[in-house]
Every structure is written in structure tokens, then in C-alpha cells.
Chains A and B, each alone.
Chain A
Amino acid sequence: MIWNKQYESLASEDLRKLQTKRLQNIAHIVYTKVPFYKKKMDELRVKPDDIKDISDIVRLPFTSKDDMRNVYPYGMLAVDQKEIVEIHTSSGTTGKPVVAAYTRNDIELWSEVMARTLSMGGAASHDVIQNAYGYGLFTGGLGVHYGARKIGANIIPISGGNTKRQLLVMADFHTTILTCTPSYSLYLAEAAKEEGVDISKLTLKAGFFGAEPWSENMRKEIEEKLRLKAYDIFGLTEIIGPGVAAECENQDGLHLFEDHFYPEIIDPATGKQLPVGEKGELVITTITKEGTPVIRYRTRDITYLEPGVCSCGRTSRRMHRLLGRTDDMLIIRGVNVFPSQIEQVLFEIEGVEPHYQLVIERIDRLDDLEVQVEMNENLFSDKIKNLEKAEQNIAHKLYSALAIHAKVTLVEPKTISRSEGKAKRIIDNRQM
């Protein structure tokens, strides 16, 4: 079902006009309300009135994650603070996270794009949606929640974790739609087997899985094991949270809600826009968001825009599922982690040298992060309990800074390779 036939199926000329008008408006707003953007635009000698067409977007400056951190906490705000009704931050960052502040209209916008998303998988008011994304600062939980509410579905705000209760609720409440990370859905499927829950008796019909990369093979496995149709959804806190793009029933690329979020693919090295079908970095501009509008945000995600129009009736462009990153960001159990953040935590612990290696495995369907730290004389003791305490201390510090559970292992010095001066810090053994 198409939630908003008018906007999701606009004729391309009408869409272009709408995008142009909205971009002109947002360029004007950020230029007058956000000093950070005025400065950037002045440096590029571009004025809001220079935007005559959506294609003029290439004249506007890019925004990086660091840019957003540098103006933490409220430097991206384009409205009076009293207009803000909700604040979220990006996950898994040390020090300063990226702040997304929503006005009442932004929450309405978020509800709208998430209602579109859930409708793509057939969600309607009679559906029971078990929302196992985490509620809180993380945008996953509340994003799905608002969309489900807009549709008028039965929402179970169960949040993440507590697998036994998830299975109990799934069976007893006749859940029809499951929302969580793809890896957690497989974990639930395995746990169901162990708990003696008969999946053939469950009433699941669709699942919306995002917040971490997955593959076609994983989709097949999830669909077979949970007997539902698995949809890939995409979003990021900087833009809105979930609800930037989602798959329709054809499962052939993710429809971008481009009447609100204007997509571009660029060459990450030169910043030049690339034509449809060419692989590059996804860049998104929020052309309607009020609280913290973002111009040409460099997502660091690699993908391409699918050529052609989808047969589902929506005219919006589609992006291929994510193909990788332009940086070394890892997504571990849905939490974004940069190796540099782990390095910083280690650096701040006395006696620990920042020679480390990250080993990521998928064990029992869940990501497992091992942080190997090189032993040195400051850390060493003849008492084993002191060494175990050191391991626990590092694990604890990583958890408080990054909200990730890591197993810390002390290894012998110089056993982490330092080829050409640049250590190979990441061993990702996950089979997606």
C-alpha cells in the first residue's frame, strides 16, 4: 500500500519543482539562521538566491560529521529553542555526539516518512507491531513508534533485549510485524528453537530491519527462519533517524523519500556529483526539516542510485542497499563505532598503550567484539587477579564511553602487526 500516493508518486517534473522550491527555502533559512552555514556559504561565495534549480545544489557546501560535532550541542539549530520538542543524538561516540533536534513539524515529518516505510510492507491499523529497536536517544525505537502510531497500528514498545519476553509477546500478542536489527531477528529465530516456540504457529508477516549492514543471503535466511517478508530500511540520526529510505514489496532498492531528503551520489575523493548508476558516497540534504536542517550531509555510506522507475507505483528514486563505507566505521550490534574512538578510550587509561586490534565475529547471530590490547610492563603484575582486573577495567571504560560490550584480551607486546607503520587494527570475520 502507498501511504501518501500524492507525494510518493509525483510526476518527475512536479517533484523537481517541489524540490527546487524547498531547497531555495532551506538555503535561505540556514543562511539567515545558522551562522555555521552562513560562514560556509560565504566562503563558497554562494547566496540563497543563487539556487535557481535543484541542480544548483552542487553550489552549496558539504556538511561532515565533524562539522556537526564542532558546533555541539546547539550550533545546528535553525529555530528558537522553544520550538524544539525532542532531542536525539547519534550513537556510540566518545565526547561529543551529533545532535538532532526536532520541532513539532519535524516529528510530524518523521511520523510521515516512517508511516510510508511501514506501509511498504503492508502495515495497517489492525497490525500488531513489535518494536524491538532500542527506545531512548537512539532514533530507531521512537522513529518506528511514531510511524506505527500515525498508521494507527497496535504498537508494542518492547525495546531491545530480553529475548525470552520478546518470544512470549510475539506468540501471545499475535505480533504481525517485527522491527529490529537484522542480526537480532536471526538471534530471535534461534532462541525460538531453543525455547520450543513453534515459528510456524506465529503470525509474523513482515519485518523491517535496519541500523546495520546485511545482505541478500541474510534476507533469505531471515525470511525462511521467521516466515516473514524482510524489508531493508535506511536512515541516520543526522538526517532524521530511520525513514530516509525503505524497500517496497519489490525489494529492489530502497525508495528515497526525496520530497524531504534530497539524495546525491558523489565521488568521495573529488566531491563531484556522479550520474545515476555510478557507485559513490551518498550525500543527503534535508529540504523540509526545521530544527536541525542539514545541507549536503556526507553519509560516508557507499551506494548508487538505481536507474529506472519501480513498478510499485512510486516514482521516487531508489538507492541500492549499502555497499560499504568510505571510512573505517564499524557497526556492532547496531551501534556505530570508529576505531579511533576505541583508541581514544585506551589512550586515556593509564598504563595502556594504544596498540590494539579489533576482532569482530558473529557468534550465535550476534556481533561479538574482542579488543586485543598489548601487554606492557606498566600493566603487568605477577598476580593474575590484577591482570583480570585490568581487562575488566578496560572493558568497563569502553562500555561507559561507547555503549558497546567488548571482550578485552591482553596479548603479548608486538604481536599486533605494524605493517608499513600502520597497524592492521580491524579483523572483521563476520559473514553477512
Chain B
Amino acid sequence: MKIKQISVFIGNKKGRLALVTEVLSKANIDIRALSLADTADFGMLRMIVDDPDRCSAVLKKHDFVVQETDVIAVEVTDTPGGLHAILKIFDENNINIEYVYAMVEKRKNAAAVIFRVEDQQKAIDVLAKKDIALVDSDSLKR
């Protein structure tokens, strides 16, 4: 199943990222996974949070441009080759990855990795066939 990711546009200006974390902190929103990509002109913050709808609302209130996107979070065994096993499946099934980043926390004996792929439903199906577990949104709530 898919989970919701929050993407935030971060302009190339001092203190913008800190403002995002301040807003989330005041709204008592927990960041579970995060990636910050940057170009010469701007940054892109992608997050998995415990309450995406509220997160999106509070950021918009502070004039941030925010988008909610579906991504999949895959449980990966926390051993050498764990991530590779997943990527191999995607490769064999011609699933192109747009970007990938890891969850902040370690879950049980497994790590969780966030994937944004071109064909999300196909990715979910092939992973299901291989009995690979996906993280659901309920487990992200506190």
C-alpha cells in the first residue's frame, strides 16, 4: 500500500529549512523520514510524517508550496544485500526509480526505505508476489 509523502519547495534563502522544522515542531508533527535534494537554485524537502494532512495544512498556512504524493515504503532486512534484493526485483520488472531515501528510524530488525517509482501499482504487485512487506500509514502514526 501507498503512503503519503509531503514535498516542500525550499527557496534558496537563508533559514527556510529551519522555518519548516519550526512550524512542524510547534504543530507537534513527527518527521519519520526525510530527504533534502538541492539544485543550484532551490531545494526540495521530502518527508514522511505521522500526520500528512495536518502537516500540509500548517505549512501552507506559512505560504510554503506543498504537495502530497503517494510513495511506497518497503521493509528491507537490515543485513548486507538487503536493499539490493529490492532493487533487483525492480530492475527485473523494468520499474524505474525516480528517487529513494531511507527512514530515519530502525524498525524491529528491518529498515524501511521510501521509493518513488514510475509505476507504483506495478511495484506494489511485484513486491507482494515476493512476499515483501510494505509499511502502512497506520504504523506511521504514534
A: contact size bracket: 10 to 19
In the complex, what distance in Å separates the CA atom of A388 from the CA atom of B41? 9
Question: Can you list, as one digit per residue, whether each of B48-85 has a CB less than 8 Å from chain A (1) or not (0)?
Answer: 00000000000000011111010000000000000000
Asked if A387 and B13 make an inter-chain contact with CB atoms under 8 angstroms apart, the answer reads no
Chain B CB within 8 A of A211 CB: no
What residues on A are CB-neighbors of B16 within 8 Å? 412
Asked if A409 and B41 make an inter-chain contact with CB atoms under 8 angstroms apart, the answer reads yes
Known: A383-B98, A412-B9. A375 touches B41 (CB 8 A): no
In the complex, what distance in Å separates the CA atom of A391 from the CA atom of B42? 11
B interface secondary structure, majority: strand
A interface secondary structure, majority: loop
Asked if A377 and B65 make an inter-chain contact with CB atoms under 8 angstroms apart, the answer reads yes
Chain B CB within 8 A of A410 CB: yes
In the complex, what distance in Å separates the CA atom of A387 from the CA atom of B67? 13
In the complex, what distance in Å separates the CA atom of A376 from the CA atom of B11? 12
Chain B CB within 8 A of A200 CB: no
What residues on A are CB-neighbors of B63 within 8 Å? 412-414
Which residues from 94 to 142 on chain B have a C-beta closer than 8 Å to any C-beta of chain A?
Answer: 98-99, 116
Minimum CB distance partner of A391 in chain B: B41
Q: How far is the CB of A373 from chain B (nearest CB, A)?
A: 11
Chain B CB within 8 A of A158 CB: no
Chain B CB within 8 A of A322 CB: no
- Contacting B69 at CB < 8 Å: which of A382, A413, A415? A382
Question: Can you list, as one digit per residue, whether each of B3-28 has a CB less than 8 Å from chain A (1) or not (0)?
Answer: 00101011111001000000000000
Known: A381-B67, A387-B44, A388-B39. A410 touches B98 (CB 8 A): no
Minimum CB distance partner of B10 in chain A: A412
In the complex, what distance in Å separates the CA atom of A375 from the CA atom of B11? 9
* Number of residue pairs spanning A and B whose beta carbons lie under 8 angstroms apart: 59
Q: How far is the CB of B46 from chain A (nearest CB, A)?
A: 6
B: contact size bracket: 20 to 34
In the complex, what distance in Å separates the CA atom of A332 from the CA atom of B64? 33
Which residues from 382 to 431 on chain A have a C-beta closer than 8 Å to any C-beta of chain B?
Answer: 382-384, 387-388, 391, 409-415
- Contacting B42 at CB < 8 Å: which of A376, A410, A413, A414? A410
Q: How far is the CB of A358 from chain B (nearest CB, A)?
A: 16
What residues on A are CB-neighbors of B7 within 8 Å? 380-382
Asked if A415 and B67 make an inter-chain contact with CB atoms under 8 angstroms apart, the answer reads no
Minimum CB distance partner of B71 in chain A: A382
Asked if A382 and B46 make an inter-chain contact with CB atoms under 8 angstroms apart, the answer reads yes
What residues on B are CB-neighbors of A381 within 8 Å? 7, 67
Q: How far is the CB of B102 from chain A (nearest CB, A)?
A: 17
In the complex, what distance in Å separates the CA atom of A376 from the CA atom of B39? 18
In the complex, what distance in Å separates the CA atom of A412 from the CA atom of B69? 19
21 A–B contacts, CB within 8 A, in A order? A375-B9, A375-B11, A377-B65, A377-B66, A380-B7, A380-B9, A380-B67, A381-B67, A382-B7, A382-B69, A384-B39, A384-B44, A411-B13, A411-B42, A412-B9, A412-B13, A413-B64, A413-B65, A414-B63, A415-B11, A415-B13
Q: What are the 9 tightest A-B residue pairs by CB atom distance, in nearest-first order?
A: A412-B11, A382-B7, A382-B69, A409-B41, A380-B65, A411-B11, A375-B65, A375-B9, A414-B63
Known: A380-B65, A381-B7. 10 other contacts (CB 8 A): A375-B11, A377-B67, A381-B67, A384-B39, A387-B39, A387-B44, A391-B41, A411-B12, A411-B13, A412-B65
